[in-house]
Amino acid sequence: MEYVEGKPLKGPIELNEALTLGGQILDALDAAHRKGITHRDLSRAIILVNKNGVKVLDFGLAKMEHAPAPDGVTKTQPLTSEGSILGTLQYMSPEQVEGKEADARSDIFAFGAVLYEMITGKPAFEGRSQASLIASILKDQATAGKRTATGEPESSGPGGADVPGEKIRSGAGNRRAK
C-alpha cells in the first residue's frame, strides 16, 4: 500500500482556496470518469491536501465500466449487489440511498456536498439518525449559506455572497455527467 502524505480536507476554508482545491478534485473525478470509473464514495475524509494540491483516495467502492464488447454493448462490473447501500451516507446521492445505479452524476452530487462543506464548514445534509439523514438527502436541498466580502462564512444577515447550496440537486437528471 502506498503512503500518501497530506492532511484531510476540512472546512470552512477561504473561498478562493476552496475553489482552487475544488477544481483539482473535479480534475481527479474527470480523469476517473474518462476511464469509466465512478468513485461512489467521495467524501471530505478521503481527500488529502498536501503541498502539491489534493489527492482523491479510496476507490474501494468504485464501479468500473469496461470497453464495449464485440456486440457493441458496454459492460459494467459492479462491486456491490443491486439495492445495496454502501458509502459515506452524508455525501451519497439520492439514487445511491435508494439503492439505485450510481454513475458519474452521483460523484458530482458528492462533490457538491464536499464543496458546500469546504465553504461553510457544515454538512450539506444533516439528520439525527441515518433514517432522517436519508430523508433529508431525498427531499431537501442544501440551504445557501452566506459569506462576508472577505470570503469568511457568515452565520446570518446581509452583505454576504450566497454559497451555492441550491446547486446540490436531488434528482440525477439535474446533474450533468460531462
Contact 35, 25 (CB under 8 A): no
Active-site residue, selected from the candidate residues 30, 41, 103, 107 = 41
Residue 41 falls in the annotated catalytic set: yes
CA distance 24 to 27: 5
Grid cell 439528520 is found at 127
Sign of the CA dihedral with 31 first, then 33, 38, and 41 last: positive
Contact 118, 9 (CB under 8 A): yes
Contact 163, 119 (CB under 8 A): yes
**Phi-psi sector, 121: left (phi>0), alpha (psi -120 to 50), beta:** left
Please give the positions annotated as active site: 41
